[in-house]
Structure 1
Amino acid sequence: MNLPLHCLRALMPRWLTMLSLVLCVQAGAQDIVTDERSQGVAQAVFGIVSYTRWPVEPATIRLCVVGPTEYADEVLKGGQLPGERKVIVRRIRLDDPGLTTECEGIYVGLLTDSAWRLLVGRLVGQPLLSISERQELCQIGGMFCLDVRPAQVTFEVNLDSVARSGVRVNPRVLRLGRRKGGG
């Protein structure tokens, strides 16, 4: 179909408007999906934290976020656990000396394997909960590793790492996760 030039000029602004509207709707849908994933991650993280016990039970649980993250937006807001306990969340540098003394748990973002191994070396003997956005970290010492999908957030659990961590996690939570071998 060949339209005269004056018709094409008349249709062009409408076509561009419609195209930009479609692109905006698609971008908005992506934001919604990411937000839903972030909310699912927060629900999983705070669920795991709420069923974790430390040798000395803190009144407020300090969760430290390490490394760049993809799904931590809602986690960073902190949360209220059942009862009186709160979770306060803050970002912390990987090399911060307070990582092992000012945190009851760590939420690990997209660290490289070598950076993770250095961090695990610092965590030995510390009663710290670890939750990661990278599933692969459960194979090298991580406790809980999230599997974030469009419709749901699940997790893997490394039972050896949990047993060595110094924290106790309710067995029902451990049964919910897919198990990984040695850490």
Structure 2
Amino acid sequence: MSNPSRLRPRGASALNGLRGVAAIALLFAPFSARSAGLASSAEYIVGFVRYVHWDHEEDVVAWQVCVGDGVAPQTDRAYAGQMVRGKRFAVRRVTLNDDVSTCHVLDLSGADAASEAALLRKANRLPILTVGHGSNFCSLGGVLCLRLGDPEQKFEINLSAVKESGLNVSARLLMLGSNRFGATEGP
């Protein structure tokens, strides 16, 4: 005999299934360029921060986004009013001479190749979410590599760089990006 507390009206299971699909669609919405119209690194970074956790982040007052040379100044405004886990974003411009150890995110999406490589070396093995453009950025050790011109896959995740950084990246984000290993490591 069935347990009456487990009985549901006919169709309730289908309704719950639809709710689950809707929840999944909402969860992944920040990364669907077609539905959300995302075009800039800042828009993606806000979404990425939702799925990345740092040690002792409860002590963080604001997410420190360090922006390399070449990123358009209007990008700073894309962070205005944005909040993730109750914390706002603070944007700071960095050059090759600056310390990046206090950055949570290092946006190198507009940096020239020499600056990109030098700043990535500074961020190496630090808990910094490094974001740049193209597969070459991942080969240099970047964590998240945007491919905004690709209609199918908008970003890659460098699993070797994630491991070296000590960041805790949600499995949800790992499922959305294409995963790769650094240039010297294999799966």
TM-score clears 0.5: yes
Distance 1:152 1:94, change over 3 A: farther
- When normalised by structure 2's length, the TM-score is 0.66
Confirm or deny that 1:60 pairs with 2:62.
Answer: yes
CA RMSD in angstroms, aligned pairs only: 2.6
Query: What is the number of residues matched between the two proteins?
Result: 144
TM-score, L = length of structure 1 = 0.67
Corresponding letter in the other structure for 1:115: S
> Which stretches in structure 1 are left out of the alignment for 5+ residues?
1-35
Unaligned 5+ residue runs, structure 2?
Answer: 1-36
Matched with 1:137 is 137
Distance 1:44 1:152 in 2: 15
Cα deviation for residue 126 of structure 1 reads 1.5
Decide whether the 8 Å contact of 1:37 with 1:153 is kept in 2: no
Q: What displacement does 1:148 show? A: 1.3
Find the partner of 1:92 among 64, 69, 94: 94
Residues 37 and 149 in structure 1, CA contact (< 8 A), matched pair in contact too? no
Alignment of 1:27-38 (within 5 A): 38=39
Query: In proportion to residue count, which structure has more helix?
Result: 1
Deviations 1:77-124 (CA, angstroms, capped at 9, x unpaired)? 314234411112222212212x223x1110003434443332232223
Provide the identity percentage: 26
Residue 152 and residue 47 in structure 1: after superposition, are their counterparts in 2 closer, same or farther (change >3 A)? farther
**What is the deviation of 1:67?**
2.2
Cα distance, 1:178 vs structure 2: 1.1
